[in-house]
Every structure is written in C-alpha cells, then in structure tokens.
Amino acid sequence: MPIDLRVTANDGSIHDFHIPNTWFVKDTKAQVLPRWIGFDDLRREYTAHVDVPTGIAQVTIDPTNRLADAYKLNDHLHMPLELTFDHHIWNQPDRRTYEAFVRPDLWWNGYDGVKAGFHANGSYMRYKHRFSVSAWLNTGLGQHLPPENPALAVDSIPGNTDTGFDRISYNLSYTNGTEKVLRGSSVSLHARMLDGLQRYGAGFQWALPNNHTTAQVNALYFIRRDSTSLTYLLNPGEWELDALNASLNASVRHTYAYARGRGDLLVEARN
C-alpha cells in the first residue's frame, strides 16, 4: 500500500510526505517521495532523504489513523505514551497510543503498620506489554499484633519480636501477547516481596480458537528469608526458613453453556 508519512521537527513544524507504490500518485499536498515497489521479502527496506533543518523529533506512519493496523505503536519513531491518573473509570482503549495509569497507594496491616507507596499499570489495547507495579515504604506506624501471636515461639533474632517488619514491599507483573508464535498465546513474568514472602514466577497461556478453552503452564518459586518473615503468618510452623519452595503447575479450563445453564471444567496438575 502507499504510505503517508509525517515528520515532526524539533521546532514543532510538520512535514508531510507521501510514498506511492505504483505509478499512480493520489491528489495530496504532501511532498511526494520516490515510489517504493516491494512485496513480501522483496525490497523490504526503503530509504528516502528529506530536508528537516531543525532536526527530527518524531516520525509517524499513517498520521490520520486510516489503516487497519493491529499494532500502531511501531508506526512511530518514538513510542507514543499517554500517562494519566488511575481514576478507575473504565474507558475504551486507545489504539493510537500506549496507555499507562498511576495513583498513590496507602495500606495498613498489623505487622508493617502504615504502608505508603504508589501503583502503576499500563498496556496497549489491554493485550500487548501489560504491566502492573506496586511499591510501598513500610513505616511501622500503627503496628499491632496480639500478644498470643504464634510467631513469638520461632522468632530467634533478638529485638525483632513483633517489630522486625520489611522496610520495602513490592509487587511486579508483566504479560505480553505472543500471537506471532501461537495465536491467542501470551507469556508472563512476576516478582513480589510482600508480607514476608518473596515470590517469583513465569508462565505461558494459550486461549484456544474455540473461545471456551484456556491452557496454561507456570513455574513458581517461594522463599522466606528469616524468622521475622514468620511473624506475618497465622501458622508459622508450616514454613522452613531460607529454603526455596518451587512448583510447576499446568491447567486446562473449559467453559460451556447448555439449555439450563453454564458449566466450568478445570483440570490442574502440580509437581
């Protein structure tokens, strides 16, 4: 297809260009560049020289957003990004830009006390490059544990009884669609240090073409570093300190509908 190309200069001026792919040139006010005749692996690259005296700030293919493009982010020299406050009001995703949201985050639990931090999340069309990150500074303000807390029996670090909370907590996750590998598939990564537990994992998910079946496999790793981590727990004796706990998990879920209702089948395996 012919290409409309827009170059934004460092001084904010706009320079429009048109690259035809046949001898026909549409009626346009843009500067017409030499034609590009290519197909599949034939002449995949095209080079043109343009005059932008103040330098190039941005290059955009299809600036009017008329093409049926499934991934508009790579139509730009620099990825377009819209960062806004996370107001929790649902809106349709904008296919023209990567959308990210951020908000302050305030929590409390009896061991960490007041937790002050932030949360951010973002994605392209809620499918590509989805991320979520939360991070908190734990202040210890308002810390309260009942005197019969069972962790007292295993807290072997002097001075840490009831007060040795983690100074920092975080929760990170990333998921990206891998439709070029397998249509309907995605990969994910996550890392978390929260409530005395460090958790790490990675996984692969595939939504089958029937729109009713999802298969996934993931690996999980857990560790609690020292006895202060046990104070978070109701049953601290069930954890071994500074020992890696790992599992490999696989599952298949199938949903279906019938005349009188709906069904949900789930098969899981863990090693």
CB 175 within 8 A of CB 203: no
Average pLDDT over residues 188-205: 94
pLDDT at res. 2: 87
* Alpha carbon of residue 78 to chain centroid: 19
Q: State the average pLDDT over residues 154-162.
A: 48
Mean pLDDT of 223-242: 79
**Which tops the pLDDT comparison, 130 or 243?**
130
User: Which of 59-73, 138-152, 237-251 is predicted with the least confidence, judged by mean pLDDT?
Assistant: 138-152
Backbone φ, ψ for residue 165 (5° rounding):
-80, 160
Residues contacting 72, CB < 8 A, separation 6+: 62, 65, 95, 96, 97
Residue 116 clears pLDDT 50, i.e. is over it: yes
User: What pLDDT band is residue 147 in, cutting at 50, 70 and 90?
Assistant: low
For residue 220, what pLDDT is reported?
A: 96
- pLDDT-based confidence at residue 146 (cuts at 50, 70, 90): low
pLDDT interval class at 14 (50, 70, 90):
very high
What average pLDDT does the chain have? Answer: 88
pLDDT at 203 over 80: yes
Nearest CA among 160, 240, 247, 163 for reference residue 201: 247
> Do 167 and 138 meet the contact criterion of CB atoms below 8 Å apart?
yes
pLDDT band at 109 (very low <50, low <70, confident <90, very high): confident
SS3 2: coil
Would you state the structure tokens that stand for residue 12, as one six-digit string? Answer: 């904010």
Domain ranges of the chain: 1-79, 83-270
DSSP character string of 21-75: SSS---S-SSEEPPP---BTTBT---------TT-EEEEEESTT--S--S-GGGG
Tell me the three state secondary structure of residue 78: coil
The CA distance from 237 to 229, in Å, is 12
Average pLDDT over residues 228-235: 76
